[in-house]
Amino acid sequence: MFGDFFRLIHIARTLAKHDALVPREFLDAMPASAKFARFMLGLGPKKDRDLPPGQRLARALESLGPAHVKLGQVLATRPDLVGDDIALALGQLQDRLPPFPTDDAKAAVERDLGRPLAAMFSSFGEPVAAASIAQVHKAETADDPPRPVAVKVLRPGIEQEFARDLSALALAARIAERVSKEARRLRPIAVVETIAVSVALELDLRMEGAAASELAQRTKADIDFRVPAIDWDRTSGRVLTSEWIDGIPVRDVEALKAAGHDPKHIAEVVVRSFVQQALRDGFFHADMHQGNLFVDAQGRLVAVDFGIMGRLDPTMRRFMAETLAGFLARDYERVAQIHFDVGFVPPHHSLETFAQALRAIGEPIFGKSVRDLSMARLLQQLFETTRRFDMQAQPQLVLMQKTMVVVEGVARSLDPDFDIWETTRPVVERWMIQQIGPEARLREVGEGMSALGRLARDLPQLLRNAENVSNMLADGGLRLHPDTARAIAEAQITRTRHVRIALWITAASAVGILAVVLL
């Protein structure tokens, strides 16, 4: 507790030095106590104070360490909590740190994989990239012939560092919810819990390997996009080994041209791949910045670093596709109806008024030059408007919108006149045809017939169950199976109170299910 308290003081002082604890832009709305705290904690260098509030907060979080970088990344997906400008600034957080010694990385690989380094790798180079959680080394396997691979290794002690910072953040969240009604509305405890879950996944590199493997499987038919293969024999919770990519970074436009690649085509592939992953697969790379994208010798786009992935369930995918299609067709009433159909906008609002608000978003877009059109900006304005109509934040959609901002930026860096609408339109239309066209109707009929077939197959057993229950009721009441009764009796003697309760609940549930069969 005392350690958490002193850690919070350090965090407060760091935020204050960057003018991010009580930003001067919000001073007029602050109570006197907040102004006094700001004065006592002091301010930092003037160069930071001249930045916008979101950038000051991002710099403060970067200086506080990896847990706080992760906090910023989570807050970047919650503009409903921090506002759109700050969320956008936090989305640009730089997750870079100096590398740790290569000898420490080698020792970690041997320790975690349980084999001598020479038995796994014929060479193991210096780090080529270093972030807050892990760093990457280029190596060659000990196979014959050797294969070049990328070896990602967690930082030593990173788990303990995260545990310390998350404990302090959890204390701050509990205090905030106890003393502030507004904090209770924003639910900081839930935010910290979300960070803890996200961190637990990122600190197990097998999960990143699984994400890469899943994305590779889902996109295997895409001829212009690929994912590096995972070397599972050299992968563990703290070590991830994958195929080494000899490619040109998409940020190096001149090198791409020199190698004979068309930057305009690559821009189309970047956007099309992202939209296909989101709509078609419901599973997308959510960190598609320039440092994670390469072009190989065959001209294929290659993505790396699968620590941040997004998912869209079928409802969200259909919602996004129909929303984009509605805006493309300028059918604002249809877009409004979609929001009401899925329950995003409460029914006490007027459908016509909401459609009018959507028209105010869409109409200014049409007639602009290609250079000025932005799908990410459209989605941002859409979410801003829906919040005014009491739509709660949908984390899946916010992460998609955040990634769209990055993807658009990559495409425009390759082609300043890139037309994101014309690139996206065929993907959305093809998905819509597959989901609500004649083929989809036939597929739904087939699924319905399959369900009826399963019901017909199981019907004799259901009838026998109903007959057994009916006979038991006529013969004095329902009776538990002897094995179930014996388990409960033994639990009364030997098991804990919690196990007994669980067994009784299981038995009661079984009786309830049988009773439902009779109705």
Q: How many whole angstroms separate alpha carbon 39 and alpha carbon 27? A: 11
Checking DSSP bridges between strand 134-141 and strand 225-226, what pairing results, if any?
unpaired
Q: How many whole angstroms separate alpha carbon 510 and alpha carbon 344? A: 36
Phi and psi, residue 396, nearest 5°? -60, -45
Q: How many whole angstroms separate alpha carbon 35 and alpha carbon 56? A: 18
Choose, from 19, 165, 222, 287, the residue flagged as catalytic.
287
Torsion angle, alpha carbons of 29, 34, 36, 39, to 10:
-90
Q: Interior CA angle at 357 toward 355 and 361, to 5°?
A: 110
Tokens at 450, concatenated: 């399959």
Q: How many whole angstroms separate alpha carbon 186 and alpha carbon 179? A: 13
End-to-end CA distance of the chain: 56
Omega of the bond prior to 31 within 30 degrees of 0, cis? no
Lookup result for tokens 């953040």: 169
Task: Give the C-alpha distances (Å, rounded to integers) separating 375 from 157, 310, 378.
Answer: 41, 18, 5
Q: How many whole angstroms separate alpha carbon 239 and alpha carbon 121? A: 13
Checking DSSP bridges between strand 148-154 and strand 293-295, what pairing results, if any?
unpaired
- Say if CB 354 and CB 389 are below 8 A apart: yes
Q: Quick check: is 50 catalytic?
A: no
Residues belonging to the active site: 287
